[in-house]
Structure 1
Amino acid sequence: MSIKIARLAVLLACSAIALAGCGKKSDQPAASKGQVVARVGDEVVTIQDLENEFRWANVTPDKQKEPEIVKRVLGELVVRKYLLRQAMAAKLDREPGVLLDLLRSREQILENAYVQRQAAAKAPGKADVDRYMANNPAKFAGRKLLSVEQIAFPLGPATQTFIEVNKNAKSLDEIDEKLTAAGIPHGRQMGTLNSGDLPPEFYGLIEAKKADDVFFVRAGQNGLFFKVKGEEARPLEGEAAANLARQLMRADAVKAELGIAAYSANLEAKYEGDYAKIMQPGDAKKN
């Protein structure tokens, strides 16, 4: 066994013992009877556990007393506690592959918690929110619902070439015929697009459209060729607009924090062996 492998084995063994210890009942503060909502063998499910599940499931406080929701969420939590007991009894937490996954999950949770805290520390004030809404009228006061005729088809390697070849198509009939000839499954129907969901640059192109212009947009796992048939003003104002603005600004702040972290991490990172060459910046590779 090499020195590196031996060190990894020691690290995994020590981490396994630490993680296993965390699950021991003696290490947990005793839950009062008022806190316990269920028992699964030696495991207890507390009200704090249940509230945390509601948080993960995005169940709002006004829904957390509804019997059907409680039954579903608590039932899933009990099953997880049961399977945890079985996994621990089988000592799965001692297996190197499982342990590495546990450590990775821990890193991801802490990474997200840190980024979210950093973003929250820069929460925008009212003036910032008002400025954001004024700079993004298509999402707020100038929001519109676009009535469109669209052709939808699943995205994949084969359809990427089709999109490139037909990005300047003049009509939906032309697109329809070519998709049929290529054997690509698709559907044609009427639909709606919200101006607030579109990138500003792309919405600007739509606003400057000509009567016969055909556009393409990605929507989840599908591609859409569409033609605008009409539009309806649907402004978003007041507290609803402010709440959405804060959500979008929070998402932008998280993205910015991740960018800062990536830059800082790359400054500190020192790659070894072949990875030093692989991880060089693009410009350095060319030299």
Structure 2
Amino acid sequence: MNSSRLKLSAILIALPLAIGLYGCDKDEKKPASQVAAKVNSSEISVHQINFLLSRLGPAAAAATPEQAKKLRQDVLEKLIEQQLAVDQAVEKKIDRSPEVMEALEAARREVLSRAYLEQVVSAQGKVTPDEARAYYRQNPALFAERRLYNIQEIQLAAADGLAAKLRDQINAGKSMEDIARWLKAQDIKFGGGSAARAAEQVPLPLLPKLHALKDGQGLVLEDGKAITVMRLVASQSQPVDEATALPRIQQFLGNQRGGEAAAREIKQLRDKATISYLGDFAPVAAPAAPAASPAAAPTTAPATTPAAASSEKSATTPANALEKGVAGLK
């Protein structure tokens, strides 16, 4: 239960002003059965204890009856200590200081905005088992064909024709050491790295490409600014069966659905609102364009084709996704 106590302390430390100054010092009279303790003229209710216990999550839910009783008592003692400090803060008028008033208002705004978005998220339908099963079937690399990957990589700045030359070396079966020596001979700066990653730790856009490789094979990725040479040194099959995966998938899809709903709601609210940036945050007016010469022919920027736009949008650099190491490749 040590982790539960640490988490409880963090909750009580993070929200002492919001809970204490807005709740504990009020003179509201609660039914005697709902009062857990009295601290001077203030009361601590069972509801306050239950609220903080609910914030502990699975740690509190998994407690035995004896542990739960001890944990409830710990929460009460922390609330008593908190109330004593709150009483002193109010007596010394600390609650009226500008810094504390700003902190209280910030806590209030945070609680209200979070509560509203949680309401938006909770209004979304739950992910059904059928939806979870479909996701399981559509992503074999994450589940039925899940693997652990041992990867080596080299990262370097992009240059004309360089990616094609590196791709030729990968296709010819050159080792990463051979490629590193070739880059040194060309006086091209690069970085080396290696990492062991489970399928779920690989960025989703990269996973299908990595999953398609056999041990010893490699690939070259280019995003216009950087090149990553990657070789799959070895891999190990560790599938996840459907029964084990379904609860995790439902939670993942539920979180994803809720996040998307919250983002849509915020966007709609911004679109409807009148938002003006002032002072240092006011947008800087663009300088006026010089008048065109009557003899000058109008110029038109080249149009971006949908294919090119799609390519630019989907380009991915996995370099940041893997830890840096194996400096000996340099």
Normalised by the length of structure 2, the TM-score is: 0.55
Partner of 2:134: 131
Inter-partner Cα distance in structure 1 for 2:220 and 2:32: 59
Partner of 1:246: 250
8 Å CA contact 2:150–2:232 kept in 1: the answer is yes
Is the alpha carbon distance of 1:96 and 1:254 closer, same or farther for their aligned partners in structure 2, counting shifts above 3 Å? farther
Aligned residue type for 2:85: L
Q: Deviations over 1:156-211 (max 9, x none)?
A: xxxxxx9655998974896xxx9xxxxx9xx98x85x3313433212112213361
How far residue 146 of structure 1 moved from its aligned partner, in angstroms, is: 0.5
Is the alpha carbon distance of 1:171 and 1:112 closer, same or farther for their aligned partners in structure 2, counting shifts above 3 Å? farther
8 Å CA contact 1:149–1:227 kept in 2: the answer is yes
How far residue 273 of structure 1 moved from its aligned partner, in angstroms, is: 3.7
Inter-partner Cα distance in structure 1 for 2:231 and 2:82: 45
5+ residue gaps, structure 1, are: 1-18, 152-161, 179-183, 217-224
What does residue range 117-266 of structure 1 map to in structure 2 within 5 Å? 117-122=119-124, 123-142=126-145, 144-148=146-150, 171=176, 191=196, 193-209=197-213, 211=216, 213=218, 228-238=233-243, 240-266=244-270
Partner-residue secondary structure (3-state), 1:278: coil
Aligned pairs, how many?
236
Is the alpha carbon distance of 1:76 and 1:121 closer, same or farther for their aligned partners in structure 2, counting shifts above 3 Å? same
How far residue 226 of structure 1 moved from its aligned partner, in angstroms, is: 8.8
- Farther-moved stretch of structure 1 (95-104 vs 165-174): 165-174
Instruction: Verify: 1:107 aligned to 2:112, yes or no.
Output: no
Is the alpha carbon distance of 1:171 and 1:52 closer, same or farther for their aligned partners in structure 2, counting shifts above 3 Å? farther
Partner-residue secondary structure (3-state), 1:137: coil
Partner-residue secondary structure (3-state), 1:138: coil
Partner-residue secondary structure (3-state), 2:144: coil
Instruction: Verify: 1:54 aligned to 2:58, yes or no.
Output: no
8 Å CA contact 2:121–2:258 kept in 1: the answer is yes
Is the alpha carbon distance of 1:141 and 1:81 closer, same or farther for their aligned partners in structure 2, counting shifts above 3 Å? farther
Inter-partner Cα distance in structure 1 for 2:74 and 2:147: 36
5+ residue gaps, structure 2, are: 1-19, 185-190, 222-229, 290-330
Aligned residue type for 2:48: D
Inter-partner Cα distance in structure 1 for 2:106 and 2:86: 18
Instruction: Verify: 1:271 aligned to 2:273, yes or no.
Output: no
Higher helix content, 1 or 2? 1
Partner-residue secondary structure (3-state), 2:141: helix
8 Å CA contact 2:25–2:87 kept in 1: the answer is no
User: Based on CA coordinates, which of the two structures has the bigger radius of gyration?
Assistant: 2
How far residue 271 of structure 1 moved from its aligned partner, in angstroms, is: 0.1
How far residue 260 of structure 1 moved from its aligned partner, in angstroms, is: 1.4
Inter-partner Cα distance in structure 2 for 1:114 and 1:272: 24
Normalised by the length of structure 1, the TM-score is: 0.61
